[in-house]
């Protein structure tokens, strides 16, 4: 079975920040929620509490960037761009400050409901000039997110997973490089974040039904090099299915649509995710099922693309195991 890692960000941030004294740890009253409470207690001189005041925090971080520091802002993803959008634009994105926006609880990974669920963050961030977007999909990516983010010459928004996180990969994030998880030739499945694990669950069942799956995992959403993606799209017979923990407008589904339209690719695209809707509060499995973000939704989407019922039941998906990364059948094996 897959390895589950507890609070991977906590240790990763401490290790990275201690090795890089110009990194500052900023928090807005969600310190333990963002797994930096031990860091605060151990290294108060490298920690800045900015209170429940995100507008000031973002402009303040811009000022720290101007002074040559590289602030890592920790809060829930929604609080990094909804209320302080103007400050994000004027104080961070426009002047290309090296501010690292660590957005926790992406999409429906919180029971906090609409006010806490960053469901359109990628759409917002993709439309901001100078912004880079990274998303973590497993514990290894969370462990490498600090180094990846801090390698960006400018601002970067990261979707960070917290708490118990499965380990799917054994190599760190390489910015700009997607993971090729399988290289079949019927259908291309593109996922990022928590939907990658769902696709890994669906893959076995899909192959059992005779569908050859090509599966890509994105950890760098912007900037995006279309060339490699075009090769993959060209390598499948039937088309592309995207599954994202985000609304289907402006996220990776839109990214694929733009690449395909821009290059005149005449293949079908099925975009799965939140369909022009807010979510409500509930457990992650419940929300993923209710809003069609899980392996079942993906199998249905592939069936829709192929125009046939694949005859895969919930019980088959439930029985599908995601293998441990260090096992012989590790997820990254092609």
Partner 1 sequence: MKNTKTTEEVAFGIRARVFEHAMRNNGGYLSQACSAAEQLAWLYNEELNLGAPTLPMIPKPFGGVPSASNPDYHTGAGYNGPAEPEYDRLFIAPAHYALVAYATLIEVGRMAPEGLEMFNKDGSSVEMIGAEHSPGMEVHNGTLGIGFSTAAGLAWGRKRRGEKGRTWVYMSDGEVQEGQTWEAIAAASHHGIDNLYALMDVNRQQCDGAMNSVMEVGDIKEKIEAFGGVAVWVDGHDLDQMRAAVRTPHRGKPLIILANSSPFRGMPYLQLRFPRLHYVRFKSERERADMNREIARSLGIPPIDYGKGH
Q: Locate all alpha helices (DSSP H) within the chain, ordered by sequence.
A: 8-19, 37-42, 54-66, 77-81, 85-87, 121-126, 139-150, 195-208, 226-234, 252-262, 284-290, 295-306, 314-319
Binding residues for partner 1, total number by CB under 8 A:
31
DSSP 3-state of 324: coil
Q: What are residue 27's phi and psi, to 5 degrees?
A: -140, 150
Instruction: Rule CB under 8 A: say whether 96 interacts with partner 1.
Output: yes
Nearer to partner 1, 62 or 137 (CB): 62
Nearer to partner 1, 90 or 333 (CB): 90
Nearer to partner 1, 20 or 130 (CB): 130
Least Å from the CB of residue 126 to partner 1: 16
Nearer to partner 1, 155 or 239 (CB): 155
Computed on alpha carbons and rounded to an integer, the radius of gyration of the chain in Å comes to: 19
- Binding positions for partner 1, 45-74, rule CB under 8 A: 48-51, 53, 55-69
Q: What are residue 302's phi and psi, to 5 degrees?
A: -65, -40
Q: Considering only the stretches 12-20, 35-43, 84-92, 175-183, report the one whose residues sit in contact with partner 1 under the rule CB under 8 A.
A: 84-92
| Per-residue interface string for the shown chain with partner 1, residues 267-306, x marking contact by CB under 8 A | ----------------------------------------
Identify the residue whose tokens are 């941030």: 13
Instruction: Rule CB under 8 A: say whether 129 interacts with partner 1.
Output: yes
Instruction: Rule CB under 8 A: say whether 1 interacts with partner 1.
Output: no
Nearer to partner 1, 19 or 53 (CB): 53
Q: If we measure between CA atoms, which residue out of 170, 181, 158, 214 comes closest to residue 3?
A: 170
DSSP 3-state of 194: coil
Are the C-beta atoms of residues 160 and 9 closer than 8 Å to each other? yes
Q: Which residues have CB under 8 Å from 134's CB, separation 6+? A: 145, 148, 149, 156, 157, 158, 159, 173, 175, 219, 220, 221
Q: Which of 20, 40, 43, 94 binds partner 1 (CB under 8 A)?
A: 94
Q: Which of 90, 114, 261, 318 binds partner 1 (CB under 8 A)?
A: 90
Least Å from the CB of residue 230 to partner 1: 23
Alpha-carbon gap, residue 207 to 62, rounded angstroms: 49
Instruction: Rule CB under 8 A: say whether 131 interacts with partner 1.
Output: no
Q: Which of 27, 31, 75, 87 binds partner 1 (CB under 8 A)?
A: 87
What DSSP line would sit under 86-146, residue for residue? Answer: HHIIIIIITTT---EEEEESBTTSSTT-TTT-BSSHHHHHHTSTT-EEEE--SHHHHHHHH
- Binding positions for partner 1, 139-158, rule CB under 8 A: 153-154
Least Å from the CB of residue 262 to partner 1: 19
Q: Please report, as ranges, the residues that interact with partner 1 according to CB under 8 A.
A: 48-51, 53, 55-69, 86-87, 90-91, 94-96, 129-130, 153-154
């Amino acid at each position: 079975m897959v390895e589950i890692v507890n609070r991977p960000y906590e240790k990763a941030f401490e290790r990275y920040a201690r090795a890089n004294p110009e990194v500052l740890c900023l928090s807005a009253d969600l310190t333990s929620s963002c797994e930096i409470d031990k860091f605060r207690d151990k290294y108060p001189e490298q920690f800045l509490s900015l209170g429940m005041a995100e507008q000031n925090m973002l402009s303040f971080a811009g000022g720290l960037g101007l002074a040559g520091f590289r602030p890592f802002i920790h809060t829930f993803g929604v609080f990094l761009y909804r209320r302080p959008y103007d400050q994000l634009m004027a104080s961070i994105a426009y002047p290309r400050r090296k501010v690292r926006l660590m957005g926790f609880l992406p999409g429906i990974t919180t029971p906090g409901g609409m006010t806490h669920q960053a469901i359109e963050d990628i759409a917002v961030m993709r439309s901001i000039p100078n912004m880079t977007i990274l998303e973590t999909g497993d514990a290894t990516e969370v462990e490498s997110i600090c180094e990846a983010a801090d390698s960006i010459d400018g601002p970067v928004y990261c979707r960070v997973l917290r708490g118990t996180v499965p380990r799917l990969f054994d190599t760190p994030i390489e910015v700009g490089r997607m993971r090729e998880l399988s290289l079949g030739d019927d259908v291309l499945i593109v996922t990022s974040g928590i939907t990658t694990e769902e696709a890994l669950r669906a893959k076995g069942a899909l192959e059992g039904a005779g569908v050859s799956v090509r599966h890509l995992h994105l950890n760098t959403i912007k900037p995006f090099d279309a060339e490699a993606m075009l090769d993959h799209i060209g390598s499948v017979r039937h088309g592309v299915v995207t599954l994202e923990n985000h609304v289907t407008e402006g996220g990776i589904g839109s990214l694929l649509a733009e690449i395909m339209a821009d290059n005149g690719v005449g293949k079908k695209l099925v975009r799965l995710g939140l369909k022009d809707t807010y979510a409500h509060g509930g457990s992650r499995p419940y929300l993923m099922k209710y809003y069609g973000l899980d392996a079942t939704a993906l199998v249905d989407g592939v069936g829709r693309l192929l125009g046939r019922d694949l005859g895969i039941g919930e019980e088959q998906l439930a029985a599908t195991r995601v293998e441990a990364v260090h096992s012989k059948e590790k997820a990254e094996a092609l």
